Amino acid sequence: MKNEHNIHRIVVVGGGAGGLELVTKLAHKFRRKKQIQITLVDMKLTHIWKPLWHEVATGTLSSSDNEINYLLHSHFHGYTFELGTLIGLDRTTKQIHLGPIINESGYILAPARQLPYDTLIIAIGSICNDFNIPGVAEYCLSLDSQQQAEQFHRRFLQRCMQMEYSENQLPLNIVIVGGGATGVELVAELNRVVTQIHTFGWQQINGNTIKLSIIESSDRLLQALKPKISTAIYDDLSQRGITIYTNQRVQSIQHNAIITAQGLSIPADMVVWAAGIKAPTVLTKLDGLEVNAINQLVVHQTLQTTVDKNIFAFGDCAYCPQDENKKAVPPRAQAAHQQASLLVKTMQAYLAGTELPTYHYHDHGSLISLSQQNAVGQLMSYIPGSLFLEGRIAQFLYWLLFKEHQAVLLGIWRTVFMTISNFLTEKVKPRLKLH
């Protein structure tokens, strides 16, 4: 199980919530075992919890206040970090291929290179699925990364500036395509931001000049959750003046309009595409590893890929059927969190040459943030059925999820001190990033 240097190299590709939690736990578990080397590979230098990206996009969260630097984190937690983008794989020589690192001017900062492994774990997440709909690539933004969230923020502020100082006050129509968690949380946060910008002094920015809409192809928002949650969220968003289109499948995106298959033409000056997911295309080019129709790596319940037992995958980039019904694990943060915890035990068994544990998804419920004004969700209880929550209790539980993630990465006491510090400085920090 070891290479010629008597060191077993575990390489994790992808520093999202699941990948970063995994390397942190593995580093702590194998801290005293010098013959085990753990490496994290990511295309960025910093990590932000993905459920917070919609707040970065609207400016209600400063990314610099919540970033974790991989280099610093790896130094203090006992693993190594490699900056790079996965572009290929050689299973015979057990090497991954990393593309060159290029800056905004096209200058090569680091050349393409190879990184050897003994065990490879892929956790590169997912991106939006545009379903090959005309106009999506040309006219839509998405929130697949922190950089894209920041790009939306810049464009949104620029449009607000134009409106504030323009003599021709035409409304700005912002449309979110996709009524899942990302779309719902983003449109709710935007609604809050519009109100704040008006309060801060841009008098032309209000609910009459900025029109917010959300489009969903199914008959209700948050189709994956209970109808009671969908109804509560529909009512909340409607009361805020947000236009909701259901049973409308997008047929094409034009320069200033969205055309649906049902015949609607919806005005759209800014469009965020948040409908459906797929795994990155690079997974289809990994030396014959099996993928499904949306590029996810097909894995057994041990999370091993079907073609190579030395390669594991988890999170949104993996297709993991469950038991006899073959229903796949849903692409949700709690699934990645559960799988990361399982893989710590898996690596112990794998290195010892014993039977590997299998993954069984446990649904603990869902929480949807509707900005600081509200939250809605359901918790799965130990008795049949689920517990419906909304308001401050749901908000508090949503906040606790983030704190749980921080505690895994930073430790309980550091998380406690950071939380206290943020609470004490909250009153002197700007509530909205306007630059």
Least confident residue range of 48-57, 391-400, 405-414: 391-400
The per-residue pLDDT for 351 is 94
Higher pLDDT, 102 or 214: 214
User: What pLDDT score does 435 carry?
Assistant: 62
Higher pLDDT, 283 or 376: 283
AA identity, residue 216: E
Length of the chain: 435
Which segments of 97-167 does DSSP mark as H helices, in order?
Answer: 136-139, 146-165
CA end-to-end distance (rounded Å), the chain: 52
Q: How far apart are CA 251 and CA 50, in angstroms?
A: 28
Q: What is the DSSP letter of 304?
A: B
* HSE-CB of 226 using CA atoms within 13 angstroms: 17
Strands 257-260 and 265-267: antiparallel
Mean pLDDT of the region 203-224? 90
Least confident of 64-68, 276-280, 328-332: 64-68
Q: What is the pLDDT of residues 301-314, one digit of tens each?
A: 999 999 999 999 99
d(C-alpha 316, C-alpha 308), whole Å = 19
What percentage of the chain reaches a pLDDT higher than 90? 54
Tokens of 137: 């690539």
**pLDDT, mean over the chain:** 87
Q: Are 117 and 94 in contact (CB under 8 A)?
A: yes
Q: What is the dihedral of CA 245, 189, 211, 131, to 10 degrees?
A: -50
Q: What is the pLDDT of residue 401?
A: 79
- Mean pLDDT throughout 222-230? 84
Q: Which of 62-66, 284-288, 327-331 has the lowest mean pLDDT?
A: 62-66
Q: Among 285, 319, 289, which Cα is nearest to 301's?
A: 319
Residue 76 phi, psi dihedral angles, 5° rounding: -85, -15
Right CATH for 8-126+279-352 from 3.40.50.300, 3.90.1300.10, 3.50.50.60, 3.20.20.80: 3.50.50.60
Q: Is residue 190 a contact partner of residue 59, using CB atoms and an 8 Å limit?
A: no
The pLDDT, as a whole number, for residue 142 is: 92
Share of the chain above pLDDT 70, in %: 90
CATH 3.40.50.920 fits 136-273, yes or no: no
DSSP 8-state symbol, 305: B
- Encode pLDDT of 339-384 as tens digits: 999 999 999 999 999 999 999 988 777 767 776 666 666 665 444 5
Q: What is the pLDDT of residue 42?
A: 95
pLDDT at 238 over 60: yes
More confident residue, 82 or 333: 82
Are 427 and 421 spatial neighbours (Cβ–Cβ below 8 Å)?
no
**Nearest residue to 185 (alpha-carbon basis) of 398, 16, 392, 378:** 398
Type and span of the H or E element at 404:
helix 392-410
Cα–Cα distances (Å) from 173 to 21, 152, 163, 295, 311, in that order, read 39, 14, 12, 33, 46
Helix, strand, coil abundance in the chain, percent, nearest 5: 35, 25, 40
Q: What is the DSSP annotation of 24-69?
A: HHHHHHTTT-TTEEEEEEESSSEE--GGGHHHHHHTSS-HHHH-EE
Comma-separated ranges of CATH 3.50.50.60 domains in the chain: 8-126+279-352, 136-273
- Written as six digits, the tokens of 228 are 């009671």
Q: Which residues contact 357 (CB under 8 A, 6 or more apart)?
A: 302, 342, 345, 346, 349
pLDDT band at 24 (very low <50, low <70, confident <90, very high): very high
3-class secondary structure per residue, 370-391: ECECCEEEEEECCCCCEEEEEC
The amino acid sitting at 24 is: T
